[in-house]
A and B are shown apart, each in its own frame.
Chain A
């Protein structure tokens, strides 16, 4: 039998004592698109970082064209035609496109004019609309990814590894990426596509490798499998999709939160939020879709009281809270699950019960004779751990010792309890595995049934469609439109997210 183009055999990789990859073997053919499917922490990125020379395997071997190769650094990998696009792009924002692409691939004195022309020609060859002289910090995320791809093409990569490439893209950008992957593979190159999204796998891959807990669960031809089998292999059990209940739809509910003409603009800067108006009803899940960094963070900050809007008014249950402090808003029952839980959600070096106390430490309930009532707090935390199914040994565990999914459950538990009337979820499921995502989604439905209002901010369209009653789309700090969830298609929302304003006559 002819040996495959690339083979990785019995790769084992340990991080201190944790097994990231356990005896993983895989192969890749010429012209093949291989999808590497698995949950966060399944070891997909690790095995590819071993191939790219960023990590060194503890045992195992790599063969290319049947010949054993040692890959000690990305330099070795690149010399073998292997290129990898990291999940978090490896670009220098302060440098130009050209500088980013030639870094590590140019020697001695650089003739900038000539290099810029080369890069521009390469971009045009692949129909990428990229200016070689532009600074990367001025480019959209989608364009930055094209710069990453150009970098690989410039190195004449034969094997292109992409780590979760679609996470930050709009649906249209995803389509054009898929087209590129297919044509690149059709030209005789190979692609490894790391993802946890089943739909993408089914669209682009020839063959699928599923990983779970660092172990290879199976290698399947796309034509001989389906999403159900893949998700079972990936998660280890059947997942029941959370269902919305449709009954209580029609009742007209009172407004819980009303935003009117909210603008946030620092002097001499472009507005982060511009004339944002919407309202959320009681017992409603209101979705805010959009590509990240289009004002979502700022909107949360304005709502939670961290920043004051430049102009506009916020009403909460009929009361003007525009100038209310954070503490007042918490007391009024506004909960907020921030997108960056490490930075804004928790203190990693504090215990779970201390973290539970964080946002309501001013409440006298927690004190006895001016000291924290540790017993009461621990009992409360223990009950929340139980209720939200947090995997922790007890209230005294350090937040740091928990997995990402369990940390998120703790933040959600606290905010659901604090937010007696309104809960703001900013990217609540980012980086969580499917089980934890399901848990968060069920919580949201549960709170909705209790009559609470929920604002769900997400870049994940499937989440928005599955959960929300009404959906607004945000682009560059402006609301592109507000729709019933039944009114929108993926294509339409994608266009709105990319900034295309809907023209009444040209409605699709």
Chain B
């Protein structure tokens, strides 16, 4: 039971990273529809960095850099060129898959067995990890999951207690008001996209070096989109997002459990599809959304 819950929590980590990244970007008015591509690039660059250098730190840095560059492309097109965000993101997602598949083969050729790295180590927090039941769930995790614990309060604090948070929220609602207040709308939006790239890259690397210790091109398999959906379902709020990611983490853990043990009642494929089915059900049943009023609308003015 504890190992099941610990795994659920672990699997929530990258989704929370991705969804929080979306919260910041979307609160400022930009949908990172390229999030799947950011995840893919992060996963691959993280793996390449770790494999070539033998250092996870280098891997994580590579992942952040790759996420940053992918998001920067998205941000440049959507914020500065004012292009349509959905189309741009879709194109970048396809591009990212192509880039990764191509360069992976260029660098590594076609190995007989998949290349492996050692996954990120689990770190036991002294004392806390020995709390019965809770300890093994919460305090025997890898560094990224510990980072996740910090992320929710920090994100909440920045959004709702600081002036920069106020500017971000206002930009997504009414960019004209922000402009008139003397704040640079495009700069805010582009910085949020870059931030989302950094965090999204880390999220992607979780799947390669944080968990599986290997890389395949379908490693993300739509989880970027799930993070995207969680941002909506969590009502653009870090706490809502936390709840959303825990649900999906649980669903993924169930899927893995069922694949190994099985119930006999349902085919395994059903459980693999579970997170995606939940996404659809929740999206349909969710009644009210506080969509940022200017989400997806480029800001342009003559001057």
Contacts and interface: CB of A to CB of B under 8 A. Distances in A.
Contact of A108 (B162, B180, B184, B301): B162
A73 B177 CA distance: 13
Contact of B174 (A15, A56, A74, A92): A92
B290 A107 contact: no
B293 interface: yes
Contacts of B173: 92-95
A187 B301 CA distance: 35
B167 to A, nearest CB: 6
A110 interface: yes
A103 B167 contact: yes
B303 A104 contact: no
A90 B177 contact: yes
A438 interface: no
A74 B173 CA distance: 19
A91 B161 contact: no
B179 A74 contact: yes
Contacts of B292: 94
A55 B303 contact: yes
A112 B179 CA distance: 23
B183 to A, nearest CB: 5
Given A75-B182, A92-B177, A103 B170 contact: yes
B181 A74 contact: yes
A268 to B, nearest CB: 11
B241 to A, nearest CB: 18
Interface in B58-108: none
A103 B181 contact: yes
Contacts of B161: 109-110, 112
Contacts of A76: 182
Contacts of A90: 174, 176-177, 179-181
Nearest to A105: B181
Size bin of chain B's contact surface: 20 to 34
Contacts, number: 83
A54 interface: yes
B187 to A, nearest CB: 11
A104 B167 contact: yes
16 contacts: A54-B180, A77-B182, A84-B180, A86-B176, A90-B174, A90-B181, A92-B177, A93-B173, A93-B293, A94-B290, A99-B170, A102-B166, A104-B183, A105-B181, A109-B163, A110-B161
B269 interface: no
A106 interface: yes
A291 interface: no
Interface in B140-196: 161-163, 166-167, 169-170, 173-174, 176-184
Interface string B281-303: 00000000010110000000111
B237 to A, nearest CB: 13
Contacts of B182: 53, 73-78, 104
